[in-house]
Amino acid sequence: MASLNVGNLGEYLREQRRNAQLSLRQLADAAGVSNPYLSQIERGLRKPSAEVLQQVAKALRISAETLYVRAGILDEKERDELETRAVILADPSLNERQKQVLLQIYESFRKENGFVTSSYADDSASSYDADDTPASYADDTPADGSRTADGNDAEPSS
């Protein structure tokens, strides 16, 4: 985990607040924290919790993970992995099965390239069949293997 750097976090928050053209009071109200507390964070006098950072990030419309890295709560590499997962999980054009398959493929590539896999990968690794096909993919594939262009199972023809 990265070392604590509250001063750098405070400077970064102040810069982001000014870029968003918000006063300290406006940001405090939007984030649901007190004006004095936010001022102390910006001056590097207080270490905010991850929850407070998430609220501030939401109010500033920036990545909470970026604030976690700045605060020393999250390592840069962990942030990149989390952001990749978040993008996949948030994609409305994919169904849940497709999202899980993509995450499993992502983890297999990370493992193949020598990166330490997250706890998610350890949980999902057991959901592969003997032929390295994700079980969730194999289990709901029609017996004839047919799929539509969008990746959904094709209706069996009668």
Would you give per-residue pLDDT tens digits along the chain (158 residues)?
443 445 589 999 999 999 999 999 999 999 999 999 999 999 999 999 999 999 999 999 888 888 888 888 877 777 677 778 888 888 889 899 998 999 899 889 888 888 765 544 334 333 334 344 444 444 444 444 445 555 555 555 54
Asked whether residue 66 falls in the same domain as residue 100, the answer is no
Asked whether residue 90 falls in the same domain as residue 132, the answer is yes
| Long-range contacts, 56-62 (Cβ 8 Å, 24+) | 56/13, 56/27, 56/31, 58/31, 59/22, 59/27, 59/30, 59/31, 60/13, 60/16, 60/17, 60/20, 60/22, 60/27, 61/20, 62/16
Asked whether residue 100 falls in the same domain as residue 134, the answer is yes
Asked whether residue 58 falls in the same domain as residue 108, the answer is no
Q: Which domain holds residue 96?
A: 76-139
Domain finish residue from 16, 46, 71 = 71
What's the pTM?
A: 0.50
